């Protein structure tokens, strides 16, 4: 099946409420490279827009590449060096680049945090991770309480290039209430404490989170930035398949 590129973009923008995140996200969400004119038959999906994924999209014969992390963050001054090496193959092969950063983190059914919550079989879910007028995460209750080790094992099943989940086990031994902000989400530790979470699940940490978690009496699980952010693009690929488009998922785990 073939669709107008503008139609694919419009459907994703509407589904993800892209405009709602415009004032809080440094990423230029939506179509970052290419024209809205033309058609789409084959869509490639990846977490990162990088030389490796762009080259793989070219090789796959994709008409559109959809990623979580794009190429434009708060502006683009020059198209030289690394920027040129990434953008040129897209232009030369007429591949559009569609990006969804925070909208794909925060979507309560298609997003990254929702995907983590699905894998952990959380119930009674609510938005979590306030960022201005929007949320970028989710929280919920485990159907059966986790021990620290069982939750670590569940998170280790995510694809993080073989890097194990790091745990700051300063909270209760029995974990029921779990807050999730994928990627780099330790800045929401105070909110996790405020809502009574037993654990915060995120991707990567910062030096100060050790003491913050210890003083808050909260478990923090660092399951990998990449590993916690594969769910959203996979869900967008499933949508494209429902629309009748051919899809390819490009897996380049970073181990980080």
Segments forming the whole domain that contains residue 87: 3-103+229-249
Q: What's the length of the chain?
A: 256
Domain presence at residue 256: no
Q: Is 149 annotated as a binding residue?
A: no
Q: Is 105 annotated as a binding residue?
A: yes
The pLDDT assigned to 185 comes to 98
pLDDT band at 96 (very low <50, low <70, confident <90, very high): very high
Crossing angle, helix 5-16 and helix 231-242, to 10 degrees? Answer: 130
pLDDT band at 196 (very low <50, low <70, confident <90, very high): very high
Residue 148: Cβ within 10 Å count: 18
Check whether residue 36 and residue 79 sit in a common domain. yes
Q: Is 69 annotated as a binding residue?
A: yes
CA–CA separation, 15 and 202 (whole Å): 24
Check whether residue 81 and residue 57 sit in a common domain. yes
The pLDDT assigned to 37 comes to 95
The pLDDT assigned to 90 comes to 98
- Residue 75 pLDDT > 90, yes or no? no
Signed CA dihedral, 100, 115, 148, 152: sign only: negative
CATH for 112: 3.40.1390.30
Phi, psi of 191 (to 5 degrees): -65, -40
- Residue 23 pLDDT > 90, yes or no? yes
pLDDT digits (tens, 9 = 90+) for 139-171: 999 999 999 999 999 999 997 778 899 999 999
Q: Is 229 annotated as a binding residue?
A: yes
Identify the bridge partners of residue 220 per DSSP, sorted by sequence position.
168, 200
Structural domain total, the chain: 2
Q: Minimal CA–CA distance to 225: which of 26, 44, 48?
A: 48
Check whether residue 82 and residue 164 sit in a common domain. no
Phi, psi of 91 (to 5 degrees): -70, -45
Tokens of 249: 């998922």
């Amino acid at each position: 099946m073939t669709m107008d590129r503008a139609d694919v973009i419009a459907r994703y923008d509407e589904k993800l409420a892209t405009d709602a995140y415009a004032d809080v996200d440094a990423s230029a969400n939506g179509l970052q490279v290419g024209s809205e004119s033309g058609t789409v038959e084959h869509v490639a999906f990846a977490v990162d827009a990088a030389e490796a994924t762009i080259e793989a999209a070219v090789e796959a014969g994709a008409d559109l590449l959809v990623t979580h992390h794009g190429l434009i963050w708060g502006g683009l001054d020059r198209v030289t060096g690394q920027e040129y090496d990434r953008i040129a193959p897209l232009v030369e092969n007429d591949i559009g680049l569609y990006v969804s950063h925070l909208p794909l983190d925060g979507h309560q059914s298609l997003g990254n945090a929702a995907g983590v919550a699905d894998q952990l079989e959380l119930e009674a879910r609510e938005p979590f991770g306030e960022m201005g007028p929007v949320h970028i995460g989710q929280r919920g209750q485990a159907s059966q309480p986790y021990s620290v080790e069982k939750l670590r094992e569940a998170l280790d099943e995510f694809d993080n290039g073989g890097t194990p989940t790091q745990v700051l086990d300063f909270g209760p031994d029995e974990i029921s209430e779990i807050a999730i902000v994928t990627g780099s989400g330790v800045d929401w530790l105070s909110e996790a404490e405020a809502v009574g979470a037993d654990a915060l699940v995120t991707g990567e940490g910062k030096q100060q989170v050790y003491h913050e978690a210890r003083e808050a009496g909260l478990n923090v699980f660092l399951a990998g930035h990449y590993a916690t952010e594969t769910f959203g693009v996979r869900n967008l690929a499933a949508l494209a398949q429902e629309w009748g488009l051919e899809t390819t998922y490009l897996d380049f785990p970073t181990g980080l």
